[in-house]
Structure 1
Amino acid sequence: MNLAVVTEAEWAGDASGLSGIDKRPAAGRVAVRVDGVVGDFIAERAHHGGPDQAVYAYATEDADWWAAELGRALPPGRFGENLSTLGVDVTGAVIGEQWAIGSALLQVTKPRTPCRTFAGFWGVPDLVKRFTARAAPGAYLRVLREGEVAAGDPVEVRDRPAHGVTVGEVFRALNREPELLPRLLEATELPEAIREKARRRLGLTTDPR
């Protein structure tokens, strides 16, 4: 489990100039609550945090790909992730899939959308474009059962919805492959704001937003 080191920087997206994207491995067990990870820091709460984004997971295997691509070490937490998973297909995780980790039960909700804060933190100006092209965004999770999580706890998939819509499909539908948008309407576990966005793009609503 990784927790934020509060960083003050010009690239921080929050008006305060602070960011919690720089996360480092925490010692011992960490409490996970419905509204987020205890001890973590989130500056820009208009776009980060909340029940549908309580925990962020990124696969070590995907981090290793980026390390090779950029020729630099990317230790746990460099993606701003709370959970650095190993042996878990995060991109292929199904929306609504339930993970038992430690004493907590989490549910996959949606992919992460890269932002300029992420690019600034890494010092890679075109990172958003490259991250979008790679389409391995990591997954946000909501907390179905509060509990405690520590490094080394296995991720046990307890339930996987039959619709089969994955984190990767949602990301590609919203950013690269609009032909996948109808699939998003099959995943009732997706946050309603994303399902509404899909409806608007498909012309299924008169909501002008």
Structure 2
Amino acid sequence: MNKLVHFSTGKPKTLELDDGKEMVSGIAKEKTEQAYLSRDGFAGDGVADTRHHGGRNRAVCIYSHEHYALWEREFGVTLPASAFGENLTVTGMTESEVHIGDVYRIGEALIQVTQSRVPCNTISRRLGIPMILPRIIETGFTGYLCRVIEEGMVRQDSEISRISVHPAGISVQEANDVYFRKYTDPTAVERVLSVEELAEKWREGLEKRAGLLKKQ
């Protein structure tokens, strides 16, 4: 069953890290009761590194609540809500269950999955767990990003439901496998590239890889 467990937004701010250093990031989001979702993202939300994050094809970040138990057991910690900087923490929508191009209704808004998330070391630094980043990549439990098709209000108690499954059937998990492990397989790369709804930044990365492969 699809369920919204945590709804979080937040602007970039200076975070104090365990090693005494500081960083400016939008990863530390806070519980939100309601916010308007426009094509640029949630009102009151933002990113610090606009080169690698944000934009209309990456307006909403989603992470599966099911993964929290795994990480807490593995690293012996209790994770805060929205630990991975996601806007929506959900159940029933893991990377293997969700496809690039799937469309979901969340509250009044309509969103479409555009790419799997490429995690960075901001997650490890924020949580103080150096080894969690390579484990996220290894498992493919990265979360994923969405564009907004219809704007509207989203609330903490909003229902979330899948409206359509993309006919290509390429799961976020499969996309992760290609991006992180099968990038030397031209057929696998081209299969992901065939999805028109794929985010442009993700497409550019795979096209570069595919171009290099063709020259070999």
Q: Please state which band the TM-score falls in when normalised by the shorter chain.
A: 0.7 to 0.9
Which consecutive aligned stretches of 4+ in structure 1 deviate over 4 angstroms post-superposition?
204-207
1:4 to 1, 6, 10: 10
Count of residues in correspondence between the two structures: 202
Q: Which residue of 2 aligns with 1:24?
A: 30
Comparing 60-69 with 142-151, greater Cα deviation is found at: 60-69
Task: Measure, in 1, the Cα distance between the counterparts of 2:206 and 2:48.
Answer: 28
2:211 match: secondary structure: coil
> Normalized per residue, which structure has more strand?
2
Q: Which AA in structure 2 matches 1:44? A: D
CA contact (8 A) 1:91 1:137 kept: no
Unaligned runs of 5+ in 2: 1-6
* CA RMSD after TM alignment: 2.2
Query: What are the superposed Cα offsets for residues 68-122 of structure 1, whole Å, 9 maximum, x if unpaired?
Result: 2222122321110000112223443111100001000000011111112111001
User: Hey, what's the Cα distance between the residues in 1 that align with 2:170 and 2:203?
Assistant: 13
* Distance (Å, rounded) in 2 between the aligned partners of 1:87 and 1:193: 27
- Call closer, same or farther: CA 1:49–1:203 in 2, change over 3 Å: closer
Please give the TM-score of this superposition, normalised by the length of structure 2.
Answer: 0.85
- Deviation, 1:205, is 8.7
Q: Which residue of 1 aligns with 2:150?
A: 145
Aligned residue number for residue 195 of structure 1? 203
- Tell me by how many angstroms 1:142 deviates: 0.4
- Tell me if structure 2 keeps the 8 A contact 1:5–1:24: no
Unaligned runs of 5+ in 1: none
Question: Tell me, what secondary structure is at the counterpart of 1:142?
Answer: strand
Give 1:5 shift. 6.2
Structure 1 counterpart of 2:197, one-letter code: E
**Superposed CA offset, 1:9-65 (max 9, x none):** 477xxxx941110112112x2111101110113111111111011010001001222
